[in-house]
Structure 1
Amino acid sequence: MANNGVKSVAGGGRTAMRRRVVSEFVPEEVVTDISAFQGVVTIVLRDGEITREEKRLVIKLASLLGLDEAAPKRVYDAIVTGEKLEGGRVLDKEEQLRIYAGMFQTAYLNASISEDEYFVVAYLRLMFEISDEENDVVINAIHDELEEHVEKNVFQVVEKGLDQAKDVVDNLVNRLRSILPEGGQKGDQD
């Protein structure tokens, strides 16, 4: 296991760089509110800027995690200095699914969503180790909620868009698995 409790990859090249950026803050054992937030903000900052849509997702995540007002700045400062924050409240599976669903729905309902925002959702799915079956339950719940609130004549378009969003996230999860050590699985690293 890496001495700092996170996965790391040595080596050079573009793929190794992506592995370092993506995997630097993927917790190996338990996921806390702080580790989840730090991981997402690290992903958002990987290109050096935060778009309006990414900022919206970060704010939504802080809210879903129930972070206090000082936590986002503390996490941002830690990322800038290369520090990994320890501690935080452990997120159980139910909370992880609720947070993932909230983030998926927020990203999907954003009119100007890009692959970068879906990448955040895919990262959370991987971090929370959400199975295909759990993902289907989340998507079906979002589908049902949207069906209740969207006019019948528009719902078919919304439904098609939700299916496309799921496909985008699934493809990004597979890409993430391909660039992370051990296929993105948590556990000891040699």
Structure 2
Amino acid sequence: MGSAPETLTVFSAVVQTVLNDGVLTQEEKRLIITIGRELELDDGDPVRVYNAVLEGEVITGGRKLTRNERVQVYRRSWRTVNFNDDESTDEAAVMKRLREVLDFSKEEAEGLVKPLRSTPDVPVEDESSISSRFRRMFGR
């Protein structure tokens, strides 16, 4: 592993991935909200990164993530995606990119989520709640 990934670099990579196809689904909104929260971004960072990505810019930097933080971000994101065992192609792309930017091998990432596969599902927010949180976070 190289140097520790940084929060804004991770979030920027995720936002680039969700916006890649030009369609932002409810599932993708839920996922980037989760990732932004888990990265403990500063106020204004999510919207700044989101707008920069829309303009074709790449944002880097932020606080360096510890190994434990990287594990928690990946696990919580995985739970958000896999709450109903129905991972979409877009969500799979986000998780792949998240795995890469958090510097986990495919095997390592699989080992991180293996214990989660047998634990109860986390309650899921409804679409209006997700849209409301997304508007608050990104002003859109």
Pairwise TM-score range, normalised by the shorter structure: 0.7 to 0.9
Distance in 1 between residues matched to 2:47 and 2:67, nearest whole Å: 26
Could you tell me which of 87, 91, 106 is aligned with 2:80?
A: 106
Distance in 2 between residues matched to 1:80 and 1:96, nearest whole Å: 25
Report the 3-state secondary structure (helix = DSSP H, G, I; strand = E; otherwise coil) of the residue aligned with 1:47. Answer: coil
5+ long unaligned stretches in structure 1: 1-27, 151-190
Q: Please give the TM-score of this superposition, normalised by the length of structure 1.
A: 0.57
Q: Give the greater-gyration-radius structure (CA).
A: 1
Distance in 1 between residues matched to 2:55 and 2:6, nearest whole Å: 20
Q: Please give the TM-score of this superposition, normalised by the length of structure 2.
A: 0.75
Where do residues 56-135 of structure 1 align in structure 2 (5 Å cutoff)? 56-110=30-84, 113-135=87-109
Note the C-alpha offset of 1:133.
4.6
Q: Which residue is 1:51 aligned to?
A: 25
Q: Which residue is 2:127 aligned to?
A: none
Note the C-alpha offset of 1:30.
4.0
Note the C-alpha offset of 1:110.
4.5
Distance in 2 between residues matched to 1:110 and 1:71, nearest whole Å: 30
Distance in 2 between residues matched to 1:110 and 1:52, nearest whole Å: 14
- Structure 1 stretch displaced more, 67-76 or 131-140: 131-140
Distance in 2 between residues matched to 1:132 and 1:44, nearest whole Å: 20
Two-structure CA RMSD over aligned residues (Å):
2.1
Per-residue CA distance 1:55-88 (angstroms, 9 max, x = gap): 0001010111111331111001111222222320
Match status 1:31 vs 2:27: no
Runs of 4+ that moved beyond 4 A: none
The 8 Å contact of residues 97 and 130 in structure 1, kept in 2 or not, is answered as no
5+ long unaligned stretches in structure 2: 122-140
Q: Which residue is 2:137 aligned to?
A: none
Higher helix fraction (1 or 2): 1
Q: Which residue is 1:160 aligned to?
A: none
Tell me: CA distance 1:134–1:111, structure 2 relative to 1, closer, same or farther (3 Å): closer
Tell me: CA distance 1:86–1:119, structure 2 relative to 1, closer, same or farther (3 Å): closer
Say how many residue pairs are matched: 120
The 8 Å contact of residues 53 and 113 in structure 1, kept in 2 or not, is answered as no
Q: Give the letter aligned to residue 99 of structure 2.
A: R
Q: Which residue is 2:135 aligned to?
A: none
